[in-house]
Amino acid sequence: MRNASILSLFVAALVGSVAQAGSAARDNPHYITNRAPLAAKPYTELPIGAIEPTGWLRRQLEIMASGMTGRLDELYPQVVGPRNGWLGGDGDGWERGPYWIDGLLPLAYILKDRTLIEKVRPWVEWTLTHQTEDGYIGPVPFEVRPTPEPGIQKSPRRDWWPKMVMLKVLQQYYMATGDARVIDVMTKYFRYQLRELPKTPLGHWSFWGNRRGGDNLLVVLWLYNITGDGFLLELAELIGEQTHPYTEIFLERGDIALHRYEQGVNGASAFHCVNLAQGIKEPVIYYQLHPEEKHLRAVKKAFADIRKYHGQPHGLYGADEGMHGRVLTQGSEFCTCVEMMFSLEKMLEITGDVAFADHLEKLAYNMLPTQATDDYMARQYFQQANQVTCAMHMHNFFDHTTDGVVFGLLTGYPCCTCNLHQGWPKFVGHLWMASADNGLAALVYGASKVTAKVAQGQTVTITEETCYPFSESVRFTVSTSAAVTFALHLRIPAWCGDAKITVNGRPFGGNLEAGRIARVERPWSNGDIVELTLPMTMRTERWHENSLSIERGPLVYALRIEESWTAHEQYREVQPTSPWNYALLEANLKDMDAAYTVAMGDVAALEPWNLRNAPITIKTKGARLPHWQLYSGMAGPIPWSPQGRQDNWPIEDITLVPYGCSTLRITAFPTVR
């Protein structure tokens, strides 16, 4: 990378200074973690730059740097160009500029890419240097203004919501650089919020502010952990009061069950898909202020209800803007994916709940790779679990009916164009976390190298070598200048009943139960090796109309459908060139190891997320269902399972590939007896 060696020294020096900031915190003294009276949290994020991705993960970030993420200002200048309000211009002053920087900033600092860091700088600098006397940050407020370019949002510039995104940007900027101006500007802004919110609550200018207050809250608590300013707790309470009451709604009302425009009882109303992905973490963020068990229970119930009423085999839900049920051709928005990932990352830190880590990997290793093109120059607004064409056509979506599933820069709706960038960089940023016992935790797995402080402050490096999620083994090598005792926390996924850990070749004797975190504490010496083995077995899940999906380890599998791509001026469409209307055979479920043959390809592929390079394939038999055909540009209504087999339904060899490698796919299959 450009000037990587000079810059890495620069970033390495700053990692040390960021670490100092949390030294007053009561748990891990090396990093920013909760101070009293906030509830202690088991894990906390490391400074940006402490974790370096390697293997395909690094390649993925490099592709983003040369694709949309690194070049959005050239590709979408009418909104994120120099006239943007967050750069002092008269253009868009809403969420989209901050959205882009929310992903570009961590990407730039993880890759230590000087060109990208320079692109980020004006956005951060303008915000830091244009705070008003009374503490307001962001675009100069004017309530009604001419629209300088078509398609730009005419939203009130005082709206609290876009500031919440910029707060996340500033927080990350501090975590990457240690720039103390962030602390001063945030403190002043939060005093402004404390004065103004009673008059103009979070939802005053837009309902986004009310629904997404959890994002505001998490930055307030983060700053409190650094400064200990008591007024921040007062503000946190106020934000908690003014945010949509998620805990009560999840526990006591039926909002999640509703589809868009359905009216519920007791004021219940359907969720917006992205609001739910962002808002679902609010009870857990708030739990730090008031550690009552009901907040955690509410989120668990919410996930169960989402699964029940809208659940899809890829790990999210059917929702085209509003929640839209379990039908397997209902879309899932790109923003929903990356916001849910961020929510899971934050909830994992606060709870250490393995279910959140399992879910996070499910999204990162199945949905996230497939919603953008391999060159990261185009993306879908919606992806479908059963997606057999991606073409301009009327679809059964509430909105964006014709261009919802094609790949383009601005097709569907442009929020995703700006917001999608946070997915991979923040995932990389949570591959490793500091643990409350001054150790290190790998709770999601990916090839990487972490350098961090442990024990009494000794710096160690751990190299994580793996082809996960395609391989079952993860090898950790400790590098330290002197022997040091600390705990290495390793997640045992709920899907893995037969995990093994060895330390320098000798079996680890601790608890390796599925769905728990193994804690390997010992005196570590330079060159010590930990081998984690996570055997992956086949399993099934049932979905809409009793359809069946296949999973193996962290990956969901989908029918391999050959793709024909056509580039149009504004978008790319994809058509199938092989049949898709297959059912799986119920008889084959009795002995899946015999009926489903797993073949390993190049698990070390640097660009694994496409059909050409799919590192794992599974061969089995399928029955063609002549009555299951295209309808309205989508796979028609899925036949009820199991179907009684007819003689004219041919049994054929079929191939399954990882969902993330597919563009066209059947993921939930009908079955035949």
Q: Counting contacts by CB under 5 A, is residue 416 touching Zn ion?
A: yes
Strand-strand pairing, 458-466 and 473-480: antiparallel
Nearest Cα to 371, choosing from 330, 336, 402, 323? 336
Question: Smallest distance, Å, CB 243 to Zn ion?
Answer: 21
Of 83-91, 151-159, 325-333, 564-572, the window that binds Zn ion (rule: CB under 5 A) is 325-333
Beta bridge pairs of residue 269 = 263
Nearest distance, CB of residue 427 and Zn ion, angstroms: 18
CB-based contact 429:18 (threshold 8 Å): no
Residue 517 C-beta: closest distance to Zn ion, Å: 33
According to the binding rule CB under 5 A, does residue 368 interact with Zn ion?
no
Pairing of strands 448-454, 458-466: antiparallel
| Beta carbon nearer to Zn ion, 379 or 665 | 379
Q: How far is the CB of 339 from Zn ion (least distance, A)?
A: 9
If the CB atoms of residues 41 and 400 are measured against Zn ion, the closer one turns out to be: 400
Least distance from C-beta 334 to Zn ion, angstroms?
5
Tell me which stretch binds Zn ion (CB under 5 A): 246-254, 415-423, 490-498, 622-630.
415-423
Shortest reach from residue 419's CB to Zn ion, in Å: 6
How far apart are alpha carbons 239 and 243 in whole angstroms?
A: 6
3-state secondary structure of 172: helix
Taking CB under 5 A as the binding criterion, the range among 193-201, 329-337, 476-484, 626-634 that sits at the site for Zn ion is 329-337
Question: Toward Zn ion, which CB reaches closer, 422 or 610?
Answer: 422
644 near 672, Cβ under 8 Å?
yes
Which CB, 21 or 415, lies closer to Zn ion? 415
Q: Which CB sits closer to Zn ion, 416 or 635?
A: 416
Tokens of 81: 């160009």
Minimum distance, C-beta of residue 355 to Zn ion, in the bound complex (Å): 26
Instruction: Tell me the per-residue interface mask from 619 to 638 with Zn ion, x by CB under 5 A, - otherwise.
Output: --------------------
Question: Which one of the spans 275-283, 330-338, 604-612, 658-666 is the region binding Zn ion (CB under 5 A)?
Answer: 330-338
**Which residue spans within 60-115 are E strands per DSSP?**
none
Contact stretch for Zn ion (CB under 5 A) within 205-213, 306-314, 326-334, 603-611: 326-334
Tell me how far, at minimum, the Cβ of 621 lies from Zn ion, in Å: 39
- Binding piece for Zn ion, criterion CB under 5 A, among 118-126, 335-343, 358-366, 664-672: 335-343
Q: By C-beta, is 415 or 536 nearer to Zn ion? A: 415
Asked if 410 interacts with Zn ion (CB under 5 A), we say no
CB of 567 to Zn ion, least distance (A): 23
* Shortest CB 546 distance to Zn ion, Å: 31
Q: Which is closer to Zn ion, CB of 182 or CB of 277?
A: 277
C-beta of 250 vs 334, nearer to Zn ion: 334
Which residue has tokens 């010590």?
528
Per-residue burial over 29-46, b = 16 or more CB atoms within 10 Å of its CB, e = otherwise: bbbbbbbeebebbbbbbb
Q: CB nearest Zn ion: which residue?
A: 335
- Minimum Å gap between C-beta 145 and Zn ion is 24
Q: Which of 667, 658, 650 is nearest to 613 (CA)?
A: 658
C-alpha to C-alpha distance for 461 and 477, rounded to whole angstroms:
8
490, β-bridge pairs: 442, 518
How wide is the angle at C-alpha 410 spanned by C-alphas 405 and 416, nearest 5°?
Answer: 75
Q: Which is nearer to Zn ion, 52 or 333 (CB)?
A: 333
Instruction: Name the one residue in this structure whose structure tokens are 């946070």.
Output: 422
Least distance from Zn ion to the Cβ atom of residue 275, Å: 12
Buried b (16+ CB within 10 A) or exposed e, 97-116: bbbbbbbbbbbbbbbbbbeb
DSSP character string of 321-356: SEEEES-TTS-EEHHHHHHHHHHHHHHHHHH--HHH
Q: Residues 443 to 502: which contact Zn ion by CB under 5 A?
A: none
- CA angle at 500 for the pair 497 and 505, rounded to the nearest 5°: 170
Query: Count residues contacting Zn ion (CB under 5 A)?
Result: 4
x-marked contacts with Zn ion along 282-321 as a string, rule CB under 5 A = ----------------------------------------
d(CA 562, CA 574): 10
| For Zn ion, the closer CB: 411 or 466 | 411
Q: How far apart are CA 46 and CA 78, in angstroms?
A: 35
Q: Assess 335 for contact with Zn ion (CB under 5 A).
A: yes
d(CA 524, CA 486) in angstroms, rounded, equals 7
Q: Which is nearer to Zn ion, 186 or 415 (CB)?
A: 415
Segment contacting Zn ion by CB under 5 A, of 5-13, 207-215, 410-418, 427-435? 410-418
CB-CB contact of 388 with 580 (8 Å): yes
Is the CB of 53 or the CB of 209 nearer to Zn ion? 209
Q: Which is nearer to Zn ion, 332 or 387 (CB)?
A: 332
Q: Long-range contacts of range 89-92, CB-CB < 8 Å, 24 or more positions apart?
A: 90/145, 90/148, 91/148, 91/149, 91/152, 92/152, 92/153
Q: What's the min distance (Å) between Cβ of 130 and Zn ion?
A: 28
Look at residues 641, 357, 304 and name the one whose alpha carbon lies nearest to residue 494: 357
Question: Which window, 241-249, 412-420, 471-479, 556-564, contacts Zn ion (CB under 5 A)?
Answer: 412-420
Q: Specify the residue, 166 or 416, whose C-beta has the smaller distance to Zn ion.
A: 416
Pairing label, strands 382-383, 332-333: antiparallel
Q: Does 415 bind Zn ion (CB under 5 A)?
A: yes
Rounded to a whole number of angstroms, the minimum distance from the CB of residue 553 to Zn ion is: 29
Interface residue list for Zn ion (CB under 5 A): 333, 335, 415-416
